[in-house]
Structure 1
Amino acid sequence: MADSLLDRAIYSYPDVDRLVGLRSGTARRWLEGYERGGRFYEPVLRAEPTGDDAVTWGEMVEARLLAEFRSRDVPVQRLRPAINRLRTEFGRYPLAHARPFLDVDGRELVRIVQEQVGLERQLQLVVVRNGQLVLAESAERFSTAVEYVGDIVGRLKPDVRTPDVLMDPRRSFGQPSVRNVRTESLAEDFRAGTTREELSDLYDLSPEQVDGAIRFELIAGSERAA
């Protein structure tokens, strides 16, 4: 069940860019690598390029985490060695599992890997604070935006500013939705002239949920700088 859920290929690269707020082309670089100045940079979130244009749920989840680091001065490319080592411990999608974030032994393993690869503090997932091993700020924000089903992420909030908007690979083909109503559909109806009150009655949603869906689509359609 867990592996099959994470392996569901239901997104495109532009989907990932739009839904987690990345500049166009970022998801492809993270998942397929890229060339610059005559040098090829290996992908961050795949062991190697696959040439596949489809993105799995597990990869979407991991991209959601990396998006939390996009404003840092240190490029996320430097996370690759740590993710590769974690992959040997947690499987193909290490950052989509609960253990590295919620389990004490899992956090300790992450700390050891960070130390072994010399990961910069700005990119660390766990840190020692007041003598305790805790999630770093970026990892903590990610952790509050996801819901686990067993040991894997089963649902996530693409943007915490719209907490009613969720993505679930088992519903609405993994697209952002409010109570299984796609935000894209709500926004399209609103642009066509349907009022928020009418949408609320039509889809059995609260006005606040309708507003959240419309707001999310406005956010997702704008340039959320990486």
Structure 2
Amino acid sequence: MNNESLVGIGVYTPAEASRLLGVPSGKISRWLKGHEVKGRHYERLWRPQVDIGDERVYLGFRDLMEMRTAFAFMQAGVSAIMIRKAIEEAKKYVADERPLSTTKFQTDGRSIFLEIADENDDPKLLDLFKRQYAFKRIVDQSLKGVEFDGIAPSRWWPASKQMKIVVDPQRSFGQPIDTESGVPTAVLASAANAEGLERAAKNWFVTTATVKRAVEFEHSLHKAA
């Protein structure tokens, strides 16, 4: 896979994905590569969009959004094994390799989890998914700030639209950018740290308010890590 084929997909290392999502990078690697625990092999949750051919794990934008939703369910007590089962089952109903982050899963996903929880005789998870508001809260929170093209996520506002910072796989390989100038927030924040707000704004042909927003956003990512 070359750079041209990555346009519109986005590309993130587990460390970069971790910075944006707050999910430990080691877990991201294990979940997307597969791993062994005490001699037992666990399959990956799904096949990542990006394969550069160096045997390392990379995520595309859709992987980023899917991981965000999967992790939200795990935090609610759903095991990675059940997440994988839900993904496989949901693929039958949603014509998408990454169904958890689709709008269709928002409406139909609860019944899928109920079926799997019942098959595994798990009272805790049965109770969780019987309560519709709990399922809705998990999904709504995991997809907060996400815009969709049809049923699939197309871009993400990781802070808010008012911050004018977007993660868009069509721009800068999916790195967080200032929406007006297209300059990555990491670049603006680094320039501000080295040169000050006003000098950074002048050198990058943006306003000081733009640089300040980028600095605040990057600081929030480091703080959450």
Contact 2:15 2:25 in 1 (8 A): yes
Identical aligned residues as a percent:
25
1:184 equivalent to 2:186? Answer: yes
Q: Which amino acid aligns with 1:17?
A: S
1:100 equivalent to 2:105? Answer: yes
Contact 1:181 1:203 in 2 (8 A): no
Q: Which residue of 1 aligns with 2:62?
A: 58
Q: Which residue of 1 aligns with 2:151?
A: 151
Q: Which amino acid aligns with 2:18?
A: D
**In 2 relative to 1, CA 35–158 (structure 1 residues): closer, same or farther, beyond 3 Å?**
farther
Pairwise CA RMSD: 3.3
Q: Which residue of 2 aligns with 1:80?
A: 84
Q: Which residue of 2 aligns with 1:117?
A: 116
Measured against aligned partners, the alpha-carbon deviations of 1:197-225 in whole angstroms (never above 9, x if no partner) come to: 44455443462x4333212222333563x
Q: How many residue pairs were aligned?
A: 206
Q: Which residue of 1 aligns with 2:169?
A: 169
**In 2 relative to 1, CA 42–160 (structure 1 residues): closer, same or farther, beyond 3 Å?**
farther
**In 2 relative to 1, CA 144–53 (structure 1 residues): closer, same or farther, beyond 3 Å?**
closer
TM-score (structure 1 length as normaliser): 0.75
TM-score (structure 2 length as normaliser): 0.75
Measured against aligned partners, the alpha-carbon deviations of 1:166-190 in whole angstroms (never above 9, x if no partner) come to: 1100001100112122011011101
Q: Secondary structure at the match of 1:89?
A: coil
**In 2 relative to 1, CA 77–117 (structure 1 residues): closer, same or farther, beyond 3 Å?**
same
Q: Secondary structure at the match of 1:65?
A: helix
Structure 1 gap segments, 5+ residues each: 102-106
Separation in 1, partners of 2:146, 2:167: 9
Give 1:122 shift. Answer: 8.6
Any runs of at least 4 consecutive aligned residues in structure 1 with deviations exceeding 6 A, and if so which?
4-7
Report the structure, 1 or 2, having the larger helix content: 2
Q: Secondary structure at the match of 2:195?
A: coil
Q: Which residue of 2 aligns with 1:8?
A: 9
Give 1:88 shift. Answer: 2.2
Contact 1:20 1:159 in 2 (8 A): no
Q: Secondary structure at the match of 1:55?
A: coil
Q: Which amino acid aligns with 2:16?
A: D
Q: Which residue of 2 aligns with 1:104?
A: none
Q: Which amino acid aligns with 1:66?
A: A
Give 1:113 shift. Answer: 1.1
Q: Which residue of 2 aligns with 1:22?
A: 23
Contact 1:6 1:58 in 2 (8 A): no
Give 1:121 shift. Answer: 5.9
